[in-house]
Amino acid sequence: MFDEIRRPFFLAALIAWLLIVLVEVGASFLLPVPSVTKADFVAAIGNDPSQRDSPPSQQDVEKMFAARIKNPPRPGYAITTLIAFDGLAFLGFFWMGAGLVISRRLVGRVQGIVSLIVALVTIIMAIIAVFVLIALLLVMVGLLLAVPFGTLAYLAIWGFFDTGPAATTLGILLFLKIATAVLLVLAQQDFIKNKGLVAVLALSVLLTLLISFLHGFPPGILVSITDVIAALVILIVSIIWAIVLLIGSIIATIKAIPPEKTSS
């Protein structure tokens, strides 16, 4: 099958997926922190039913707004965590491309150990991120439910999530992922029969759509919470996929070890 691949289309698919990874890496730096005016903040508090019976004093509002300006929240956890899954997918595409230009036997020997290390690092980092995000989620939910001043603190810090730039980023990612799938089919129609490849592409698209849904469905003040929930789902899926890759890499590494010669 590799001998029949149309290399320009495959190279374009590889570049498209590399762009996906770069966009996801840059999302944590490029997504703007929502700019909130004092009027927006006051309006958000006024729209919160829990604050209508006992509205905060002007002094409390000033303090919360000042805290929000001093320590703005980091947006887009879910988009950034996509790198855990899509990075592993890029590694698979890279090995497929490497087999076109260098010895497949050499690629097979190197692939096992490199994939093992990457999968192990991904699992460790993803597990750490899961615990960090769970702690953050508990803080968010705890503050939101701690009426009235806890809710005020939540609104000040996480009550504003700029879904516009996030939606644009997700649109770009979705376009590139669909383009990658089309380019792979143009490179070799038999890629459709590769169940593992199809599953990775489909799951990556579904995770992207999940983020879009969890950004667009809930009320605006809850998007920061659903964004963290989406990030947790992505990390758990990535850990499972990395474990599968880790097991396969261990098997491949063992097979690559030459047997000891027995003396007669």
- Alpha carbon distance 201, 181 (integer Å): 7
Q: According to the model, what pLDDT value does residue 213 have?
A: 94
Q: Is residue 261 part of a domain?
A: no
Q: According to the model, what pLDDT value does residue 86 have?
A: 93
Q: Is the pTM of this model over 0.85?
A: no
Q: Is residue 134 part of a domain?
A: yes
Q: Is residue 15 part of a domain?
A: yes
Please give the tally of structural domains in the chain: 1
- Indicate the residue type of 110: V
Q: According to the model, what pLDDT value does residue 61 have?
A: 64
Query: Which structural domain range is residue 204 located in?
Result: 2-27+62-256
**Ranges of residues in the chain whose predicted pLDDT is under 50:** 1-2, 264
Residue 144, Ramachandran bin (φ over 0: left; ψ between -120 and 50: alpha; else beta): alpha
- Alpha carbon distance 75, 225 (integer Å): 11
Q: According to the model, what pLDDT value does residue 115 have?
A: 84
Of all helices (H) and strands (E), which one includes residue 138?
Answer: helix 104-145
Q: Is residue 249 part of a domain?
A: yes
Q: According to the model, what pLDDT value does residue 231 have?
A: 95
